[in-house]
Amino acid sequence: MTGVAGTVGELAGLVAAGDAVVLSGAGLSTESGIPDYRGPSGAMRRSTPMTYQTFTGDAAARQRYWARSHLGWRTIARAHPNAGHRAVAHLQQRGLLSGVVTQNVDGLHQAAGARDVIELHGSLDRVVCLNCGDLLSRDELDRRLRQANPDFDAAVTAINPDGDVDLSDSDVDRFRIVDCQTCGGGMLKPDVVFFGETVPAGRVQECFALVESARLLLVLGSSLTVMSGRRFVLRAAKLGIPVAIVNQGPTRGDGYAALTVDAPLGTVLPELVRLLDLSGVAA
């Protein structure tokens, strides 16, 4: 089966029926200044993302991650939703979406006004203690890290989708990390699913339930390279639920799609909303 390249008008015809579930990926946030992993300027072209095994097993790697993430978080925290995020929120407010699942960890769907977003891979604005399970806000951790590193600053040349930046070894070496204050020394980790880590089973089942009850699975800005997101496309295809994909470049789900649109999401999604509004569907 081969995905059929389509127009925004054809996409509007599919979305107009309602009960669509959105599955979004990093490509939706690139126009907010956050790069994707596998696009033309993707982070994987520069470096390998941190894995759970390396983070928990290597103190030097953990220091490197937090030094880089401490500076990268400033960019993530300042990022604003783009036209694509706002279009998704608009579609939800008009009752055309029955759910939003995102592989992103930047919180931009919610900042644009989307509700009840399932964050498949967690969120960078929370931090968890791997010893006692305590959660704290990223703003609180940022305050503590600033206190521990009052003179730490460095030139940021590139930011990665998981919120860290490229830094020199000399900059990393002078950075001090902090531990959990609740249990007195537990290892802190961003409340996101690292590469090599498993998405919580309950969260996965919640996403499957949404997909299984949908009339349409609308994939936005994901290459579907890893099974974490692609499994929902496979489930939809198995159940005969149409899949529509909007992405710049090919994806590993194209062969299961009823329709594909290869174009910038910041252009396609506002046009989709405009067409639906004109037709009276989203009025």
255 assigned ligand-binding residue: no
272 assigned ligand-binding residue: no
129 assigned ligand-binding residue: yes
List the structure tokens of 221.
Answer: 């800005």
53 assigned ligand-binding residue: no
162 assigned ligand-binding residue: no
- Look up 109 and say whether it is catalytic: no
List the structure tokens of 58.
Answer: 């290597």
91 assigned ligand-binding residue: no
* Contact between 138 and 73 (Cβ < 8 Å): yes
Alpha carbon dihedral 24, 30, 35, 39, in 10-degree steps, equals 70
Helix (H) or strand (E) holding 119: strand 118-119
183 assigned ligand-binding residue: yes
223 assigned ligand-binding residue: yes
18 assigned ligand-binding residue: no
156 assigned ligand-binding residue: no
* Category of 50 on φ-ψ map: left (φ > 0), alpha (ψ -120 to 50) or beta: beta
207 assigned ligand-binding residue: no
C-alpha–C-alpha distance, residues 241 and 20, integer Å: 10
Question: 210: closest CA among 15, 12, 19?
Answer: 19
C-alpha–C-alpha distance, residues 29 and 26, integer Å: 5
Q: Read out DSSP for 48-117?
A: PPPBHHHHHH-HHHHHHHHHHHHHHHHHHHH----HHHHHHHHHHHTT-EEEEEE---S-HHHHTT--S-
Catalytic member of 70, 85, 109, 121: 121
248 assigned ligand-binding residue: yes
Annotation: binding site for Zn(2+): 129, 132, 180, 183
Annotation: binding site for NAD(+): 103-106, 221-223, 247-249, 265
Annotation: binding site: 103-106, 129, 132, 180, 183, 221-223, 247-249, 265
Catalytic residue annotation:
121
